[in-house]
Amino acid sequence: VLADVFTISNNMDGFHTLLEKIQACIAPQDKIRVGLEATGHYSYNLLGFLLDNGLATYVLNPLRTNLYRKSLSLRKTKTDRVDARTIAAMLLSDAGL
């Protein structure tokens, strides 16, 4: 984990905040993968912003991330923090990309 969980606004200011946090974590950028759960129109602007800024970005099916999370633990914990770690684990393992 390179950064603690945080929240951004779904606007350009929030997108720039996210980009700054990503860029502060690691370099070079070509090794960074960003994963988003598919949320319909709510994620389109962010997806476009990340792609326009050269970040490898993957949109994941929420059903697949849910099943993957369940396969990692018998606990029925579902929080944003757990979901973020699940998506990161999927990106590291190439599961469902």
- In which residue are the tokens 């606004």 written? 9
State pLDDT tens for residues 79-96: 777 787 888 788 888 766
Q: What is the pLDDT of residue 20?
A: 93
pTM of this structure: 0.77
Q: What is the pLDDT of residue 67?
A: 78
Q: CA-to-CA distance for 96 and 66, rounded, in angstroms?
A: 12
Residue 52 reports pLDDT greater than 80 = yes
State pLDDT tens for residues 11-48: 999 999 999 998 888 766 567 889 888 888 888 999 99
pLDDT band at 4 (very low <50, low <70, confident <90, very high): confident
Count Cα atoms within 13 angstroms, Cβ side, for 77. Answer: 12
Residue in 4, 84, 95 with CA at minimum distance from that of residue 36: 84
Q: What is the pLDDT of residue 23?
A: 87
